[in-house]
């Protein structure tokens, strides 16, 4: 893809990577959509993003890892189960040389869906 051409779909984003990385990105995408089947999928900030009553998660591939961005609450709430991964305030790094923790991803996404639904409901009440 020409550097000037802007990636517009998640399929285009995933297609630009080598087969082994594409496989992991597709697994991650499937886990996110399984946990949040009603989420809208788009490219935002140059990476796949998913929203439902607000932003849920983003992900992006890098040289040695896949960055998963569930926000500060998505990382903080699950910190005990993330001890094997590099984390920062709103980011988890999944190394490319290890299997994707898909059950954990689904759990985090379901948590984020619940947070966003609660937030949307409380806004309706105001």
**pLDDT tens digits for range 17-27:** 999 999 999 99
Q: Is the pTM of this model over 0.95?
A: no
CA 92, distance to chain mean position in Å, is 9
Which contiguous run of DSSP H or E holds residue 120? Answer: helix 102-125
Residues 25-44 pLDDT 10s: 999 999 999 999 999 999 99
pLDDT reading at 67 higher than 50: yes
Question: Could you say which DSSP state residue 46 is in?
Answer: T
15 Cβ neighbours under 8 A, 6+ residues apart: 22
- The per-residue b/e assignment along 20-51, b for 16 or more CB within 10 angstroms, e otherwise, is ebeebbeebbebbbebbeebebebeeeebbbb
The answer regarding whether domain 10-119 maps to CATH 3.20.20.70 reads no
Helix axes 102-125, 19-35, angle to 10 degrees: 40
């Amino acid at each position: 893809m020409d550097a000037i051409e802007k990636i517009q779909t998640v399929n285009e984003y995933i297609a630009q990577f080598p087969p082994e990385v594409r496989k992991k990105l597709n697994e991650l995408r499937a886990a996110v959509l399984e946990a949040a089947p009603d989420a809208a999928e788009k490219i935002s900030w140059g990476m796949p993003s998913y929203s439902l009553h607000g932003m849920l998660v983003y992900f992006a591939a890098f040289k040695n890892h896949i960055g998963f961005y569930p926000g500060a609450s998505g990382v903080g709430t699950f910190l005990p189960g993330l001890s094997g991964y590099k984390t920062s305030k709103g980011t988890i790094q999944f190394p490319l040389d290890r299997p994707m923790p898909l059950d954990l991803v689904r759990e985090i996404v379901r948590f984020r869906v619940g947070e966003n639904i609660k937030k949307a409901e409380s806004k309706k009440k105001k």
